[in-house]
Structure 1
Amino acid sequence: MTAPRTQRPAPGDGPLTPRSHGAWDGPSAALIDKDDRPAAAADTPTAHRDRTPAAAPTPPPATRKEAAARPPRRGPADPVRALMHRHQELCARAVDALEIAAGLETHGVTDRTAARFRHRDVFSLAEELYARVPRAEPAPLAAPRPEPAPRSRSVRAVLHLLPGAVCVAVVAAVASAAPTTWWTRPAVALAGLVLVALAVRLSVRSGPLRAHRPGGNWATPWICWTVGYALCGDWLLTELLAGGPDLPHAHPRPAVAAVLALAFAVAPAAWCARFFAVRGRRGLATSRGLGELAARVRPLLLGATGLFLTAQVALLVGTGLLLGGTGAPETAAASALGVLLFLARLLTVHGFRDAAAAGLASAAALEALAPATVLTARLPGLAPLGRPVEALTTAAGPAAVPAVACTAAALGLLLYGLRALTGAWAHSPAPAAEADRP
């Protein structure tokens, strides 16, 4: 008899039993992936050959305390790149690193700012910018200006002496004019003043007194006022204090010696301006920081101002001996005016026209205030307004008014120049199209 066949359980009727070869029985066995099998079934030599080596275990993430203790990263890896993009045009068109340093200074970049860009000073930062930024295609330029020949230098020296020579000729023409009518000598004097003004304009348009940076000349009215007050201001103030002037019978007594000395002072002013400019550019080329440049330029400015003051006093003494003695107040007033005009022109040459015009305007305002208060004091109840001017002129003469006004304005320009003229921008060559610095 055959044994009865054992009935296989239906799927899902009972637990699955492994077969003799070790596989799982049942229809769901084909759906089980080999990687999901138990370790006993998958741990075979074939499985060991097929399995890839396991990756190295990753370290555990840092705790919050370790992340807080780690120093934060400050700034980009290349902090100069942002500065390169910000000043791309300046760096691309610069002819050397000094021009970039001057441009950075105009935008407020100092040595302390350069330290934030990991540089010791502005000059080293400008050198890196000059090395990293490619040069722009240069525009067609004219041929380089040759060095001035000895003849051209002699011509410039003659131009600087021209205002003094024209002023001497005008003084001689006024003295020799026959007083046939009351307007003869005033007309000759007025024509002579126009010629002197043209000679001064011609002399300052070349050489060291030439302003290379374009801009409007707002200082011309104030120059005319201060020089005109030096010519006739003392006489006018004296007449006003005495109750005059009785026009048209008043006869002005101009201070010819002071104006003649100012006209001849154009030549020493040009020499002192050249002295300051040449040594200032030399200091810019050899300095390694803005502090070092300022330390070199400040004595130069003081020295140039002192040299011009010495020459101005010598000219005043000489013209005073030739045309009549002048007192100490008159000499002090004319010297202060000469230094004021010299500092104003020096600031204009180096690109600070607004500061020069402000200094001259302040002197002109103080000079105009003195006769205005004297005239105002004539009104009823306003007599105390004229007492300060009366006390000053009684103590030191009418020349004390322009002496005080010009000295105060000259000191203001000197203090401003000690800060403005010690920067790299003041000694860098400016392009022809560059606007005046605000």
Structure 2
Amino acid sequence: MSEQLKVDAPRAPGSPGGWDARSQELVADVGASAGAGVSTGTKPARRGGVDPVKALMHRHRELCERAVDPLEIAAGLEAHGVTDRTAARFRHRDVFALAEEMYARVPRDEDERVAPEAPPSRDVPEVPAGWALFALLPGTACGLAAVGLELTEGRARLGVGLGGALAVAVALRVALRYGPLRSAHHVVPATRAWVCFLVAYALFGDGLLRAAVSGGPAGPWAPSTAAALGLCLAAAPALWCVRLFSVGARGRLPLSRGLAEFTASVRPLLLGVIALYLGALWILLVGAGAVYDVPAPAGAGALGALLLLSRLLTSYGFTRAPLLMLGAAGAAEAGALASVFAGRLPGCAWLAAPVEGAVRAWGPGLVPVVACGAAAGVLLLHSSRVLSRASAHADGAP
């Protein structure tokens, strides 16, 4: 099946409003002139010379001409916001039944078809060679920086830390740019800012919160090297799991006989891949904690899940939900810290009481676990809905 699906109107993921206005008017005309009904698999009779399917094919002529399978047309209609309820107004039981008729009628409408100037390419843009090795760069850079920090002290230690942070940032950028999580969609600066804040909190937030609850901070506090090492090492399984999902989902496109069947096969794949990544992430965090003789940073695990789901959605063009959830998690963590310091003001001790009680009972890691875990849960539900659509994979993304 073609991975180069083109549609007549800009795609608006997750929004029925993505369908163009003239097609919306066509549906209204069909409802007024032909009424609603459900097809039983045979071509229904047209009333008064009205052929709504033919008119719909004219509106989406390029999509019909380039399609090599009914599911490709169904995915394009789905991307335009056409639902089973809309298909019923064209006297079809669902979107796939409507797409089957459109696909079957294309060869018989030779007088109305305009051949494309050049045959469309059926090749999917492949991930650049060596991406699996690029995935190892962030963990390697962080591991070398961690060793350097153990062997130095004073100003040299500070220099090694700053150099290591820069090396990890460059390695991560290379891994994302040339790996399965690469994205051609614009990422707003606010998204990057929230990601940087969440990572900084994973490194320094727990120590600062613990010191603040104890009446400090009285001086500098050490970053959580175990969290940094575990997250950087987890970049490799994250990229490998995403590759497994994208290839598996595209492979199910030509095998499915309808949108519902495709969704039913892709959703378990997505959940399985996420579970596989979470298992690998937890093993790496436990290992990093054992190296530094500290408990596994659970907050870093929740952050890793949030970052993966955010980047996965962004690579498929869904950028709004990641921004909202990253912002919500960051605001929750910042609010927890601010409430502890605000509680020192006269008469404001009640502001810090909830956070201080929770930290004393369960430790400072509770804050990122709750904040990032809740945001990751919302993104997981959103991903299971939007990434199980055929239209999300028909153009070969990511």
Separation in 1, partners of 2:384, 2:124: 31
Contact (CA 8 Å) 2:207, 2:221: kept in 1 or not?
yes
Contact 1:370 1:401 in 2 (8 A): yes
Cα shift at 1:423: 1.0
Q: 2:125 and 2:309 mapped to 1: Cα distance?
A: 29
Shift of 1:96: 5.5
| 1:209 equivalent among 167, 175, 181 | 181
Contact 1:167–1:192 (Cα < 8 Å) also in 2? yes
Q: How far did 1:205 drift?
A: 1.2
Query: What does residue 167 of structure 2 align with?
Result: 195
- For residue 289 of structure 2, the aligned residue among 284, 307, 320 is 320
Of 134, 137, 142, the residue aligned with 1:167 is 142
Q: Does 1:244 align with 2:216?
A: yes
Of 286, 310, 315, the residue aligned with 1:349 is: 315
Structure 1 match to 2:75: 102
Q: Deviations 1:376-431 (Å, cap 9, x if unpaired)? A: 11222211011110111011100110011111001000111121111112111169
Q: Using the TM superposition, give the Cα deviation of residue 326 of structure 1 relative to its aligned residue in structure 2, in angstroms.
A: 1.3
Identity of aligned residues (%): 49
**CA offset at residue 165 of structure 1?**
0.4
Name the SS of the counterpart of 2:383 in structure 1. Answer: helix
Q: Which amino acid aligns with 2:216?
A: G
Distance 1:156 1:113 in 2: 42
2:203 alignment counterpart:
231
Among 373, 389, 397, the residue aligned to 1:423: 389
**1:369 aligned partner:** 335
- Matched pairs, number: 347
Change (3 A) 1:201 1:188: same
Report the Cα distance in structure 2 between the residues aligned to 1:196 and 1:73, rounded to whole angstroms.
Answer: 62
Distance 1:323 1:102 in 2: 50
**C-alpha distance in 1 between matches for 2:187 and 2:126:** 29
Q: Deviations over 1:194-235 (max 9, x none)?
A: 210111110011232222x42234422121111111111001
TM-score by length of 1: 0.72
Deviates more, 1:341-350 or 1:113-122: 113-122
Where does residue 391 of structure 1 map in the other structure? 357
TM-score by length of 2: 0.79
Are the structure 2 counterparts of residues 359 and 285 from structure 1 closer, same or farther at C-alpha, using a change threshold of 3 Å?
Answer: farther
The aligned counterpart of 1:64 is none
Unpaired runs of 5+ residues, structure 2, are 1-32, 36-45, 107-111
Letter in 1 for 2:279: T
* 8 Å Cα contact 1:159/1:202 also seen in 2: yes
Give the CA deviation at 1:349.
Answer: 1.9
RMSD over equivalenced CA pairs, Å: 2.7
Partner of 1:333: 299
Question: What amino acid sits opposite 1:210 in the alignment?
Answer: R
Q: 1:431 to 1:274 in 2, by over 3 A?
A: closer
Determine the structure 1 residue equivalent to 2:257: 288
Query: What whole-Å deviation, never above 9, does each CA across 1:30-70 have from its counterpart, x for those lacking one?
Result: xxxxxxxxxxxxxxxxxxxxxxxxxxxxxxxxxxxxxxxxx
| Alignment correspondent of 2:86 | 113
Q: Provide the C-alpha distance between the structure 2 equivalents of 1:176 and 1:339, rounded to a whole number of angstroms.
A: 32
Conserved in 1, the CA contact under 8 Å of 2:84 and 2:95?
yes
Q: 1:354 to 1:173 in 2, by over 3 A?
A: same
Specify whether residues 325 and 241 from structure 1 end up closer, same or farther in structure 2 by C-alpha distance, changes over 3 A only: closer
- Which residue of structure 2 aligns with residue 382 of structure 1? 348
State the 1:97 CA deviation.
4.5
Alignment of 1:132-171 (within 5 A): 132=106, 134=113, 136-138=115-117, 153=129, 155-171=130-146
- The alpha-carbon deviation at position 118 of structure 1 amounts to 3.0
* Stretches of structure 1 lacking an aligned partner (at least 5 in a row): 1-71, 433-438
Partners of 2:34 and 2:124 lie apart in 1 by 52
Question: In the alignment, what sits opposite 1:220?
Answer: 192
Which residue of structure 1 aligns with residue 7 of structure 2?
Answer: none
Greater shift after overlay, 379-388 or 78-87? 78-87
Cα pair 2:87 2:98 within 8 Å, conserved: yes
**Aligned counterparts, 1:254-333, within 5 A:** 254-327=223-296, 330=297, 332-333=298-299
Give the SS at the match of 1:172: helix
Cα distance change of structure 1 residues 199 and 402 upon mapping to structure 2, 3 Å threshold: same
Q: Which amino acid aligns with 1:388?
A: P
Q: Structure 1 residues 170, 119: CA separation in 2 closer, same or farther (over 3 Å shift)?
A: same
For 2:116, give the aligned amino acid.
E
* 1:409 is aligned to 2:375: yes
